[in-house]
Amino acid sequence: MIKFSVLFCVAVVVAVFLSSAIAAEEEKLSKNDENIKVYKRLIPADVLRDFPGMCFASTRCATVEPGKTWDLTPFCGRSTCVQSEDNPAKLLELVEDCGPLPLTNEKCKLDTDKTNKTASFPFCCPKFTCEPGVTLEYPEVPKDEPKKE
């Protein structure tokens, strides 16, 4: 019994150490990545007929209540289940992700040392390094036009 207690205490100490190390790493990343752009868009939510009033999170294969957020792993992003202001019976999904990749530029390269695909959003977004004086250009993101009915 004493061996189990000692092993349990060691496991707790290791877990606390790892969680504080991860939090410190993410805090360091957030200070270095102040220019991360987050793209947001509202789309119609997936809703299962047996679970009306809840969004279906396909990346988790789970239902989510309005106001709740889930990550989009294995993709870099997160979504939130939102009730439409116009029609409270309609659910929307607020998708937040890294947006489109920049246009190809021979003077800018994906920085594989700084990009961490397994980090939590938005720290999983790709990072690029460009030669001095060069800035990345991004494709124009079309704005959704209101549908005429």
Could you read off the pLDDT of 68-118 as tens digits, one per residue? 999 999 999 999 999 999 998 899 999 999 999 999 999 999 998 999 999
- Residue 36: the pLDDT is 77
Question: Pseudo-torsion of CA 97, 131, 26, 18, nearest 10°?
Answer: 120
Could you read off the pLDDT of 7-35 as tens digits, one per residue? 333 333 333 333 333 344 444 444 445 56
- Residue 51: the pLDDT is 96
pLDDT at 2 over 90: no
- DSSP, collapsed to helix, strand or coil, labels residue 71 as strand
Model pTM score: 0.68
Domain limits of the chain? 31-130
- Residue 143: the pLDDT is 66
What does the longest C-alpha to C-alpha distance in the chain come to? 72
pLDDT at 53 over 80: yes
What DSSP assignment string belongs to 91-124?
EEEEEEE--SPPPP-TTEEE-TTT--TTSPTTTT
